[in-house]
Amino acid sequence: MLAKGMDNALLRFGLGKGYLDAGDHLKAVEHLQRCVEFDPKYSAAWKLLGKAWLASGDSDQARQAWAQGIAAAVGHGDKQAEKEMTVFVKKLDRTTKLP
């Protein structure tokens, strides 16, 4: 579909999730980043983008994605996504604290 020019948020979300599930974290980041460019309110995409960044070893980018995802979730009342990403950020903060 992408090769035929049918690019959209849902397609990019599916591709990003597929690559994330397959362990290709950087390809997942690429597609999920495009997804949130298409639809900045797509809180599920922000959640997966943060997971992809974290899996690729970039905790700062993961934190930024989740912060934007929390804002998107709050903006349209997605309480579950807000709670999940808040937990991810807190867990990340606990694991990255310096002794």
Percent pLDDT > 70 in the chain is 92
| Torsional class of 72: left (φ above 0), alpha (ψ -120 to 50), beta (otherwise) | alpha
pTM of the model: 0.90
76 domain residue, yes or no = yes
1 domain residue, yes or no = no
> Please, what sign has the CA dihedral across residues 71, 73, 77, 82?
negative
The predicted structure's pLDDT at residue 95: 84
Chain segment 66-91, per-residue pLDDT in tens: 999 999 999 989 999 999 999 999 99
CB 43 within 8 A of CB 73: yes
- Split into its structural domains, the chain has a count of 1
- What does DSSP assign to residue 2? T
Q: Domain range spanning residue 20? A: 9-96
The predicted structure's pLDDT at residue 7: 85
CATH, residue 74:
1.25.40.10
3 domain residue, yes or no = no
45 domain residue, yes or no = yes
Query: Beta-carbon neighbour count of residue 85 at 10 Å?
Result: 25
49 domain residue, yes or no = yes
